[in-house]
């Protein structure tokens, strides 16, 4: 049976070579500059080749490597334009595709998980995968009752590959940081590591998808396919007809499409926790599909492997209250509220004016009826908070993110990243008033 390339030495060598390869290309670039080549041309060539190596390696290895790549791709909008250009095609390509595993392997897994009579229930199966992701690939089929279905099959060796990749990525994170300036790559690897192993449990994913499907049944704007069957490393759900993913809109959508699907994504992100008690925590564009029967322009939502079960049965009320206090420009009260919630540790002093300067731009989307997200806006926020010479950087270092908020923070940062890639104008404040606990109180 063909498996993920998972031998420790082989996978470790390929991942460890990423920062080494980048350093080598920098040295080669210096040599070309000394030989008289224009600086801009050399920089572009180094970045292009680096992007191709990074995301080709992450995609081909699948497992934790590709999962990290998908998480990184959400923040593509934060990269400065002079760096983002060569990377963009590789990033968006990674969001929607990966090399497939052989058909014989798929059939062996189906026989093992669904039983020797699996063909009596799954009466048709397209041998060509319709999609491929970090730990599995999806085939279109037909269930015995005539329903079109999506059959997700986990790659053999995924658990071992996932654990090995994330361990190695944690070791080389400092070197990878130079490939994506302005991003805390080490922290991103840690976040992915905490959640990724849960995604191997298709029974857990099926339970989460059932809850979302029930909550959004008949919804005018959001479509969640029902679960048909699950067993071990196979998950069968209803097929969702779509016209591509949000990655397509990012690449070539009209402004009307960008605004429409951006608003649907935003509303889903805030409304789903209230309806389900769960947070869909994997907001990369490939998980959101364009469903357009009769011009309805609805948002199809896939992949429920990375889902957080919220302890309060929804988003913490404190989040909405903190944003509301910040918008009232009462930063003395905000410092006190942040300290009470654990964002400012005991004995740590934070100046209210410095906090205003740090948080003000982040609160800007909630301060107006409509806000236009853009790459330029997101790049400016990353530049501000990552400049060690600035006040925003020193203020950020004084703040603490409580563990209970980490996944919520990363998820909504990812949503903002996708909105910025879309360049969408959305009614951000209205959505908060309707769906964020504590905001409108």
Question: Per the structure block, which two tokens stand in for 181?
Answer: 């300036």
Q: For the chain, what are the domain ranges?
A: 8-97+167-196, 103-157+198-238, 243-441
What number does CATH give the domain 103-157+198-238?
A: 3.30.200
Average pLDDT over residues 311-329: 90
Question: Per the structure block, which two tokens stand in for 46?
Answer: 């180094």
* Structure confidence at residue 219 (pLDDT): 95
**What b/e sequence results for 45-81 when a residue is b if at least 16 CB atoms lie within 10 Å of its CB, and e otherwise?**
bbbbbbbebbbebbbebbbbbbbbbbbbbbbbbbbee
* Structure confidence at residue 235 (pLDDT): 96
Query: Is the model's pLDDT at 271 over the cut of 90?
Result: yes
Q: Does an H or E element contain 151, and which?
A: strand 148-154
* Structure confidence at residue 89 (pLDDT): 56
pTM of the full predicted structure?
A: 0.77
Report the range of poorest mean pLDDT among 24-33, 246-255, 309-318.
24-33
Query: Is the model's pLDDT at 245 over the cut of 60?
Result: yes
Q: How far is it, in rounded angstroms, from Cα 242 to Cα 261?
A: 13
Of residues 403, 431, 43, the one with CA closest to residue 266: 431
Query: Is the model's pLDDT at 227 over the cut of 70?
Result: yes
Higher pLDDT, 51 or 360: 360
Strands 288-291 and 227-231, sheet pairing: unpaired
Measured over the CA atoms of residue 384, residue 75, residue 245 and residue 221, the dihedral's sign is negative
CA triple 86-92-95, angle to 5 deg: 145
Query: Is the model's pLDDT at 32 over the cut of 90?
Result: no
Q: What is the mean pLDDT of the chain?
A: 79
Q: How far is it, in rounded angstroms, from Cα 437 to Cα 421?
A: 27
Query: Is the model's pLDDT at 34 over the cut of 80?
Result: no
């Amino acid at each position: 049976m063909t498996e993920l390339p998972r031998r420790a030495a082989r996978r470790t060598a390929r991942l460890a070579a990423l920062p080494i390869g980048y350093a080598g290309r920098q040295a080669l670039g210096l040599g070309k500059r000394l030989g008289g080549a224009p600086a801009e041309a050399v920089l572009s060539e180094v970045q292009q080749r680096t992007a191709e190596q990074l995301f080709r390696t992450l995609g081909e290895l699948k497992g934790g490597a590709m999962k990290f790549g998908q998480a990184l791709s959400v923040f593509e909008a934060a990269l400065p334009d002079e760096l983002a250009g060569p990377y963009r095609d590789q990033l968006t390509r990674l969001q929607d595709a990966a090399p497939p595993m052989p058909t014989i392997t798929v059939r062996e897994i189906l026989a093992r998980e669904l039983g020797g009579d699996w063909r009596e229930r799954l009466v048709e199966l397209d041998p060509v995968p319709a999609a491929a992701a970090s730990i599995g690939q999806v085939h279109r089929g037909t269930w015995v009752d005539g329903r079109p279905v999506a059959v997700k099959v986990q790659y053999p060796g995924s658990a071992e590959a996932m654990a090995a990749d994330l361990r190695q990525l944690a070791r080389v994170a400092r070197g990878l940081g130079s490939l994506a300036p302005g991003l805390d790559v080490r922290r991103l690897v840690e976040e992915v590591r905490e959640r990724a192993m849960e995604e191997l449990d298709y029974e857990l994913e099926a339970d989460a998808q059932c809850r979302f499907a029930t909550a959004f049944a008949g919804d005018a704007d959001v479509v969640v396919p029902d679960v048909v069957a699950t067993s071990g490393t196979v998950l069968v759900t209803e097929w969702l007809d779509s016209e591509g993913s949000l990655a397509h809109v990012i690449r070539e959508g009209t402004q009307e499409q960008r605004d429409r699907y951006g608003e649907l994504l935003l509303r889903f992100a805030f409304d789903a926790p209230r309806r389900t008690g769960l947070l869909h925590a994997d907001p990369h564009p490939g998980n959101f599909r364009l469903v357009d029967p009769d011009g309805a322009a609805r948002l199809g939502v896939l992949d429920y492997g990375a889902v957080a079960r919220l302890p309060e049965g929804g988003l913490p009320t404190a989040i909405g209250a903190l944003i509301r206090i910040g918008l009232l420009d009462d930063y003395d009260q905000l410092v006190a509220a942040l300290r009470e919630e654990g964002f400012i540790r005991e004995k740590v002093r934070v100046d209210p004016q410095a906090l205003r300067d740090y948080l003000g731009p982040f609160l800007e989307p909630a301060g107006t009826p409509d806000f236009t997200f853009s790459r330029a806006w997101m790049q400016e926020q990353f530049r501000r908070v990552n400049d060690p010479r600035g006040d925003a950087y020193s203020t950020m270092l004084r703040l603490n993110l409580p563990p209970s908020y980490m996944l919520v923070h990363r998820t909504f940062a990812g949503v903002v990243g996708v909105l910025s890639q879309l360049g969408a104008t959305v009614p951000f404040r209205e959505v908060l008033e309707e769906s964020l606990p504590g905001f409108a109180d």
